[in-house]
Amino acid sequence: MKTQICIIGGGPSGLLLSQLLHLKGIDNVLLEKHTRDYVLARIRAGVLEHGFARLMREAGCGERMDREGEVHDGVFISHDGRLDRIDLHKYSGGSSVIVYGQTEVTRDLYDARDRMNGKVIHEADDVAPHDLGSDKPYVTYNKGGASHRVDCEYIIGADGFHGVSRKSIPAGVLREYERVYPFGWLGVLSQTKPVSPELIYAKHKNGFALCSLRSQVLSRYYIQVPLTDTVENWSDDAFWAELKNRLPADVAARLQTGPSIEKSIAPLRSYVAEPMRYGRLFLAGDAAHIFPPTGARGLNSAASDIYYLYHAMVDHYHKRDDAGLDGYSEKALARVWKAQRFSWWMTTMLHRFPDNSPYEDRLQDTELAYLLSSDAAKSAMAENYVGLPF
């Protein structure tokens, strides 16, 4: 098979780029390791920046998001038995976020790819990029017992943190920066009315908790747990009891509980790989960087990579201008690092760090006290939470 661009990975990054390029007449083939049902069963992010939403609309995929997504103008921070609200709209100079699940984003993108007869190949095994340093790269994969080859001009590595793309960059070229946090998030999805119309980020001596939502009948809650815990350690009853424990009493009293329809533990990690380009291979999304989920940066940073890459490819194919491709890594990384800083800051301020000294605990309390007492600090948080421009 021959195409202009071969995209590895059918998560939100790969699908969004595939859809945007196809709309501009740029031929592409997308290879995904798993089935569509498997990809859609993963419960992940829930908060979208407006920059992401604009890109979804440009891709012709914004209709359901605009109908069913909720615009949120603020978030709550709970601490010491009380709730404080950060007015995102006021402190960001008029912006907000959209609550619409990654599962729905992905479903809308797959539906759009179907409508356009996009070339999406599922259950592509042993995907391997080749000849990245040449101007004739290609990708091989196996499917249904046969081996296949895609000849292309560029390869996009949008295959997540565990994908093959980043690993095909020679070790001497790749620089990796990482922080692994000594805890994870236990997440529960339940068909219950959300406890709060806006998200609650909770700091508590037992650890962090987050009350989020997917709709007015679907709640998503998280609690910080040690990395040694497993899902089997946490019955639904134990989860609800600990979540309530970490919330102010009046909030806990109105929390509706119910059976979990999904329960999983995600470790927290900060990670950046540089550069995001090697020869004809461009990395995007989780293939290049991981964020601890606290600031809701993961999916949104994937979207900014796709924005830069999409415009760079359009300039290359329509205007013979390679400045976007040449500057991609530097430009994408500049925004990625600011999002890293923000997610590290929010994670550090709100979680319990078991090895902290009493001095560090007091500084952590003071960081939150300062945020809640300073308009300048609230503005800094709000402009990052709604998303820096791209």
Which residues of this chain interact with ligand FAD, rule CB under 6 A? 8-14, 31-34, 39, 44-46, 102, 124, 127, 158-160, 162-164, 266, 285-286, 293, 296-299, 302
| CB of residue 100 to ligand DHB, shortest distance in Å | 10
Q: How far apart are CA 115 and CA 107, in angstroms?
A: 12
- Angstrom CA distances, 300 to 64, 67, 228, 355, 385, stand at 18, 20, 29, 31, 10
Cβ closest to ligand DHB, residue 128 vs residue 161: 161
Phi-psi region of 351 (alpha: psi -120 to 50; beta: other; left: phi over 0): beta
Q: Which of 45, 188, 243, 255 binds ligand DHB (CB under 6 A)?
A: 45
113 near ligand DHB, rule: CB under 6 A: no
CB of 265 to ligand FAD, least distance (A): 8
Cα Dmax for the chain: 63
Shortest-Cβ-distance residue relative to ligand DHB: 46
Q: Are 12 and 302 in contact (CB under 8 A)?
A: yes
Which of ligand DHB, ligand FAD, none interacts with 294 (beta carbon under 5 to 8 A by kind)? ligand DHB
From the list ligand DHB, ligand FAD, none, pick the one residue 33 interacts with, judged by a Cβ distance below 5 to 8 Å according to partner type. ligand FAD
**Residue 107 token pair:** 């479903």
ω into residue 182 within 30 of 0, thus cis? no
**Residue 294 interacting with ligand DHB (CB under 6 A):** yes
Query: What number of other Cβ atoms are within 10 A of residue 161's Cβ?
Result: 15
Q: Which of 33, 113, 220, 351 binds ligand DHB (CB under 6 A)?
A: 220
Which residue from 7, 8, 20, 47 is in contact with ligand DHB, where contact means CB under 6 A?
47
Residues 193-212 that bind ligand DHB (CB under 6 A): 199, 212
Q: Give the bridge partners for 354, in sequence order.
A: none
Min dist. Cβ of residue 243 to ligand DHB (A): 14
* Alpha carbon distances (Å) from 379 to 291, 374, 386: 22, 9, 11
d(CA 181, CA 224): 11
In the bound complex, what is the minimum distance in angstroms from residue 98's beta carbon to ligand DHB? 11
Nearest to residue 157, comparing CAs of 48, 5, 22, 23?
5
Residues that bind ligand DHB (CB under 6 A): 45-47, 199, 212, 220, 293-296
